[in-house]
């Protein structure tokens, strides 16, 4: 037993550095590369997701299928699987992230959890089927093609999707649309963000291209509506939330299919 524990600790250490702090019990705890002042973001995000999931799926968690899109090292898909959901599937674009996620699932003995490499731009309901719960956490603002990805996750979501994202300040107004007398209102804004440094350095939380687009709140809800969700709501953060959530610079939004 001692040799097995030692071997597992060596495997965990060999995969470092880790982005998330996992408590692996007898095998130790991973140390996140994030500065201490940033780490509470993960607890806030998980706490808000837990609140939504527990309230919405009360009494039927064991029947729920969940897909975690952009699962990274599996922090949130592990948490959903440990609730006893029927099936949890994590997808991510980076093999290095998935290697850590699979090891975490192994350490926790989660047979209801699987991972696969996939870009959310190529997510197909014909291949994955549908899931009552979709997690889309910390990913939207890293995407070059957010509308395409939101349409894809809408198709694989049968009940709710929980989106957590950075947001930018609101911009609204009226645009000329073919002539001075022809105008259209615009609903929010997508800010163009240069992630070239993170992308080319293969930073694990960067998107799959050097171009990122970050929405405003109104843009987020407008896109969700046109992606096929019937309604959406931004939920209030707890009083002890991570500072960006408290200030409204990051939001957790629940999008409903029915």
pLDDT for 205 beyond 90:
no
**Average pLDDT over every residue of 11-16:** 96
The structure's pTM equals: 0.95
Roughly what angle, to the nearest 10 degrees, separates helices 2-14 and 95-108? 160
If you ran DSSP here, which 8-state letter would residue 17 be given?
Answer: S
pLDDT for 102 beyond 90:
yes
**pLDDT recorded at residue 41:** 97
What total number of domains does the chain contain? 1
| Residue numbers of the domain that contains 62 | 2-256
Q: Is 125 exposed, middle or buried (0-12, 13-18, 19+ CB in 10 A)?
A: middle
Question: pLDDT tens digit string along 67-95?
Answer: 999 999 999 999 999 999 999 999 999 99
Reported as a pLDDT band with limits 50, 70 and 90, residue 3 is: low
Q: Are 181 and 171 in contact (CB under 8 A)?
A: no
**pLDDT recorded at residue 1:** 54
Coil, strand, or helix at residue 15? coil
**Average pLDDT over every residue of 200-220:** 91
Which CATH number covers residue 32? Answer: 3.40.50.150
Coil, strand, or helix at residue 1? coil
Reported as a pLDDT band with limits 50, 70 and 90, residue 2 is: low
């Amino acid at each position: 037993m001692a040799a097995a524990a030692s071997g597992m600790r060596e495997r965990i250490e060999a995969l470092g550095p880790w982005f998330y702090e996992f408590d692996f019990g007898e095998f130790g705890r991973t140390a996140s590369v994030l500065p201490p002042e940033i780490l509470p973001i993960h607890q806030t995000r998980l706490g808000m997701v837990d609140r939504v999931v527990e309230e919405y799926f009360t009494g039927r968690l064991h029947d729920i299928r969940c897909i975690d899109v952009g699962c990274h090292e599996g922090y949130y898909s592990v948490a959903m699987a440990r609730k006893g959901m029927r099936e949890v599937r994590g997808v991510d674009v980076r093999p290095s992230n998935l290697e850590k996620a699979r090891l975490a699932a192994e350490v926790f003995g989660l047979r209801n959890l699987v991972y696969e490499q996939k870009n959310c731009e190529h997510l197909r309901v014909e291949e994955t089927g549908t899931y009552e719960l979709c997690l889309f956490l910390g990913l939207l603002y890293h995407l070059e093609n957010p509308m395409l990805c939101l349409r894809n996750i809408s198709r694989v979501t049968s009940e709710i999707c929980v989106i957590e994202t950075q947001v930018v300040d609101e911009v609204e107004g009226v645009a000329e649309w073919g002539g001075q007398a022809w105008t259209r209102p615009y609903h929010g804004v997508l800010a163009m963000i240069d992630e070239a440094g993170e992308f080319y350095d293969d930073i694990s939380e960067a998107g799959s291209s050097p171009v990122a687009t970050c929405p405003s709140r109104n843009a987020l809800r407008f896109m969700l509506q046109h992606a096929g969700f019937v309604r959406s709501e931004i939920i209030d953060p707890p009083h002890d939330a991570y500072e960006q959530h408290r200030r409204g610079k990051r939001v957790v939004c629940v999008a409903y299919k029915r």
